[in-house]
């Protein structure tokens, strides 16, 4: 009955189905193996999910910058990871004296707001400069030039910071409040992890409100749907693009400060890997899609944290944590093959098609 359809099946289809089946089988076998081994306690599993949510929240904040710029300009801003670094690095010079004087321990919320504002301002300004110098001249050019320029900007930022502050690592101050343990439903977690997840969620909710409820947000969505039509409707496209870069920069700034307080170290190259991971998260969630980037970030963080223990350990793989990046990027490749539009879908592209 369906002979006609069967005839249309190609070798590529069969191979892809086989790949899917193999990966799903591996994941199931690994998970069963881990369950049988029963190596981890419930508390340890919950801790690992929490580690994943912590780093995932930071990925999500950076991913938002990638996704918004892509939504408006159809451009991957490869310098975004380094913009994240500039904020965290500059805020160090505020955080260190604040902690030393005891201000940060005494007025934690005010201190954190000051540090975050500095990081947000620096990130936004650098994002704007990168946009003005590297992207705007190429805005109407259909070529790879803006992409190459973005990579150049990324190198420039890294080495500018290396030149200014040296290649050594700087330690973020310890804050007493963050070092304490918080107990929820019988599980203990370091307080900083909660702070990061809640702060990331709050920042994302604010962004969601800006994009969906304000006039500027409406303009952003209009420009991302059709730039020319939006311009004809009287929207100042330049203004919208600048606003997008400021928003993306601010999210990266908050992400940078949270990252720095979790991992306590900043150096000139720190933005590269979180940047790549966040870009993967944006693609995972569906690039150009704001809720998708948030979901992609958290999802990537949790899979990275749980994956080695859940899938690889059960398969008997030695030293599975070395393969953590492999899990993350395999997932990215799988998404690109089987669901190129991402988990939530590249909403705009679909509407256009």
Partner 1 sequence: MKPSFLLKSLAAASIVAVGALASSAAWAVKVGPVEDPIRVVKIPKGAPIVIATYHVISGADTALGLDTQRGAVVAADDLGNTLVGHPIKFMHEDDGCNAEGGQTAATKIAANQQVVAALGGACSSATRPAAPILWKAGIPDVATAASSPVLTAPDRGPSYDGLVRIVYNDLWAGREVANWAYKVRGYKKAATIHDGSPYAEKLVRVFQENFKKLGGEVVSDEAVAPNDTDMRPVLTKIATAKPDFIYAPTFVGVTSYLIRQKKEIPGLEKVALVGSDASMGAQLMEASGKDLLGFEISTTAMEPEAQGPGYKAMREKYKKLFGEYPIQGFHGNGYDAMMLVANAIKKVAVTEKDGTTYIPIKALRDAMFATKNMQGVTGKITCDQYGDCGVYNFAIYQYTNPDPKTLEPGKNPKRIYPEKF
Chain residues binding partner 1 by CB under 8 A are: 39-41, 43-44, 47-48, 51, 55, 167-171, 174, 188, 190, 263-265, 273, 304-306, 308-309, 313, 318-319, 321-322, 324-325
Q: Give the shortest CB-209-to-partner 1 separation in angstroms.
A: 30
- Residue entry with tokens 């004087």: 101
Query: What number of residues does the chain have?
Result: 353
Judged by CB, which is closer to partner 1: 249, or 307? 307
- Residue entry with tokens 């993306």: 248
Q: Give the shortest CB-300-to-partner 1 separation in angstroms.
A: 12
Q: Angle at CA 59, nearest 5°, toward 272 and 16? A: 90
Judged by CB, which is closer to partner 1: 34, or 224? 34
Q: Give the shortest CB-94-to-partner 1 separation in angstroms.
A: 18
| Measured distance CA(244)–CA(229) in Å, rounded | 18
| Measured distance CA(97)–CA(295) in Å, rounded | 36
Residues 294 and 58 sit within 8 Å (Cβ to Cβ): no
Q: Give the shortest CB-132-to-partner 1 separation in angstroms.
A: 31
Judged by CB, which is closer to partner 1: 180, or 351? 180
Judged by CB, which is closer to partner 1: 136, or 191? 191
If you ran DSSP here, which 8-state letter would residue 131 be given? I
Q: Give the shortest CB-310-to-partner 1 separation in angstroms.
A: 10
Judged by CB, which is closer to partner 1: 105, or 325? 325
Question: Percentages helix, strand, coil for the chain, rounded to the nearest 5?
Answer: 80, 5, 20
Q: Give the shortest CB-40-to-partner 1 separation in angstroms.
A: 6
Residues 149 and 138 sit within 8 Å (Cβ to Cβ): yes
Going from the C-alpha of 180 to that of each of 49, 177, 184, the distances in angstroms are: 19, 6, 13
Other residues' Cβ atoms within 10 Å of the Cβ of residue 13? 10
Q: Give the shortest CB-246-to-partner 1 separation in angstroms.
A: 27
Judged by CB, which is closer to partner 1: 27, or 317? 317
Judged by CB, which is closer to partner 1: 47, or 116? 47
| Measured distance CA(301)–CA(55) in Å, rounded | 6
């Amino acid at each position: 009955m369906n002979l006609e359809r069967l005839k249309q099946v190609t070798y590529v289809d069969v191979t892809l189905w086989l790949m899917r089946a193999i990966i799903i089988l591996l994941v199931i076998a690994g998970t069963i193996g881990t369950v049988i081994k029963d190596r981890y306690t419930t508390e340890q599993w919950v801790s690992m999910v929490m580690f994943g949510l912590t780093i995932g929240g930071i990925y999500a904040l950076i991913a938002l910058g990638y996704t918004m710029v892509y939504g408006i300009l159809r451009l991957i801003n490869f310098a975004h990871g380094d913009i994240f670094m500039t904020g965290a690095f500059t805020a160090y010079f505020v955080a260190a004296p604040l902690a030393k004087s005891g201000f940060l321990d005494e007025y934690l919320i005010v201190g954190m707001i000051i540090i975050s504002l500095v990081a947000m301002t620096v990130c936004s300004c650098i994002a704007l400069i990168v946009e003005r110098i590297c992207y705007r001249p190429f805005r109407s050019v259909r070529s790879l030039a803006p992409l190459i320029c973005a990579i150049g900007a990324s190198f420039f930022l890294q080495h500018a910071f290396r030149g200014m502050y040296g290649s050594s690592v700087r330690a973020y101050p310890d804050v007493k409040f963050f070092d304490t343990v918080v107990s929820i439903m019988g599980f203990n977690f370091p307080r900083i992890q909660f702070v990061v997840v809640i702060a990331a969620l709050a920042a994302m909710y604010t962004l969601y409100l800006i994009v969906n409820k304000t006039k500027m947000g409406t303009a952003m969505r209009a420009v991302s749907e059709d730039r020319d039509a939006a311009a004809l409707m009287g929207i100042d496209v330049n203004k919208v693009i600048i606003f997008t870069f400021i928003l993306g920069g601010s999210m990266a700034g908050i992400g940078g400060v949270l990252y720095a307080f979790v991992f306590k170290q900043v150096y000139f190259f720190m933005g590269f890997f979180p940047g790549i991971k966040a870009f993967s998260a944006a693609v995972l969630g569906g690039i150009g899609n704001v809720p998708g980037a948030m979901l992609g970030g958290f999802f990537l963080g949790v899979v990275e944290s749980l994956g080695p223990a859940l899938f690889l350990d059960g398969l008997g793989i030695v030293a599975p944590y070395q393969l953590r990046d492999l899990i993350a990027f395999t997932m990215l490749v799988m998404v690109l093959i089987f669901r190129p539009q991402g988990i939530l879908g590249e909403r705009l592209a679909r509407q256009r098609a």
